[in-house]
Structure 1
Amino acid sequence: MSELSQCIGPDGHEKFRRLVEAAQEYPAATTAIAHPCDEVSLESAVQAAKLGLIVPILVGPQARIREVAARATLDITPYEIVDAVHSHDSAAKAVALVRAGRAETLMKGSLHTDEVMGAVVARETGLRTGRRISHSFIMDVPNHPHPLIITDAAVMIAPTLEEKVDIVQNAIDLAHGMGVSDVRVAILSAMETVNPKVPSTVEAAALCKMADRGQITGAVLDGPLALDNAISPEAAAVKKIVSPVAGRANVLVVPDLEAGNMLAKSLSFLAGADAAGIVMGARVPIILTSRADALLTRLASCAVALLVVASRRADAAAAMV
Structure 2
Amino acid sequence: MELKNFKDLIKKVQKNDSIKRVAVAAAHDEHTLEAVFKAAGDKLVEPVLVGNKEKIEEILKKLNLKYEPANIINTESDKEAAEKTVELIHENKADFIMKGKLQTADLLKAVVDKEKGLRTGNVISHVAILEIPAYRKLIAVTDGGMVMYPNLDEKKQILENSVNVFLAMGYECPKVAVLCAVETVNPKMPETVDADTLKNMNRDGEIKDCMVEGPISLDLTFNKESAEIKGYSSPVTGDADILLVPNITTGNIMSKALIEMAGATMAGMVVGAKVPIVLTSRGASSEEKYLSLVLSASAVK
* TM-score normalised according to structure 1 size: 0.89
> Displacement of 1:293 after TM fit?
2.0
Native 8 Å contact 1:230 1:249 kept in 2: yes
Partner of 2:195: helix, strand, or coil? helix
Secondary structure, counterpart of 1:150 in structure 2: strand
1:72-92: per-residue Cα shift (whole Å, max 9, x none)?
222222883111111111111
What is the CA–CA distance in structure 2 between the aligned matches of 1:200 and 1:72, rounded to whole Å? 48
Q: Which residue of 2 aligns with 1:241?
A: 232
The CA deviation at 1:60 is 0.5
Shift of 1:67: 1.6
- Superposed CA deviations along residues 245-291 of structure 1, whole A, max 9, x for unmatched, are 12211100000000000100010000010110011111011111222
* Residue number in structure 1 paired with 2:117: 126
In the TM superposition, residue 301 of structure 1 has moved relative to its aligned partner by: 1.4
1:25 to 2:15 alignment: yes
Aligned to 1:15: 5
1:254 equivalent in structure 2: 245
CA positional deviation for 1:167: 0.1
In 2 relative to 1, CA 87–37 (structure 1 residues): closer, same or farther, beyond 3 Å?
same
- CA separation in 2, counterparts of 1:79 and 1:240? 64
**SS at structure 2 position matched to 1:56:** strand
Equivalenced residues, count: 297
Q: What residue in structure 2 maps to residue 161 of structure 1?
A: 152
What value does the CA root-mean-square deviation take over the aligned residues?
1.4
- Letter of the aligned partner of 1:18 in structure 2? D
Name 2:108's counterpart in structure 1: 117
Which residue identity is paired with 2:5?
A: K
2:92 partner SS: coil
Aligned-pair identity in percent equals 37
Q: Would you say 1:55 and 2:46 are equivalent positions?
A: yes
Measured in 2, the distance between the counterparts of 1:78 and 1:43 equals 17
Q: Deviations over 1:202-240 (max 9, x none)?
A: 010111111122221110101000111112112211211
Task: Tell me the distance in 2 between the aligned counterparts of 1:213 and 1:183.
Answer: 17
Q: Which position in structure 1 is the counterpart of 2:268?
A: 277
1:170 Cα deviation from its structure 2 partner: 0.3
Alignment of 1:30-41 (within 5 A): 30-41=21-32
What is the CA-CA distance between 1:182 and the residue it aligns to?
A: 3.2
Q: Which amino acid aligns with 1:67?
A: E
> Is the Cα contact below 8 Å between 1:57 and 1:79 reproduced in 2?
no
Letter in 2 for 1:49: A
Aligned amino acid, residue 251 of structure 2: G
Separation in 2, partners of 1:126, 1:251? 28
Q: How far off its partner does 1:56 sit?
A: 0.7
User: Counterparts of 1:48-197 in structure 2 under 5 Å?
Assistant: 48-77=39-68, 80-197=71-188
Q: Kindly report which structure 2 residues correspond to 1:181-220, keeping only aligned pairs within 5 A, or say none.
A: 181-220=172-211
CA contact (8 A) 1:32 1:103 kept: yes
**In the alignment, structure 1 residue 302 sits paired with structure 2 residue 287:** no
How many Å apart are 1:241 and its aligned residue?
Answer: 0.7
Residue of structure 1 in register with 2:258 after alignment: 267
Q: Per the alignment, in what secondary structure is the counterpart of residue 145 of structure 1? A: coil
Give the aligned residue type for 1:212: R
Q: C-alpha separation between the residues in 2 aligned to 1:164 and 1:107?
A: 25
Q: Deviations over 1:133-180 (max 9, x none)?
A: 111000010121000110000000111111111100000000111122
Encode CA deviations 1:271-320: one digit per residue, 9 max, x unaligned. Answer: 010110011111011111222222222222122222222xx2xxxxxxxx
Q: Contact 1:46–1:76 (CA<8 Å) still a contact in 2?
A: no
Structure 2 unaligned blocks of 5 or more: none
| Residue 28 of structure 1: how far off its partner (Å) | 1.2
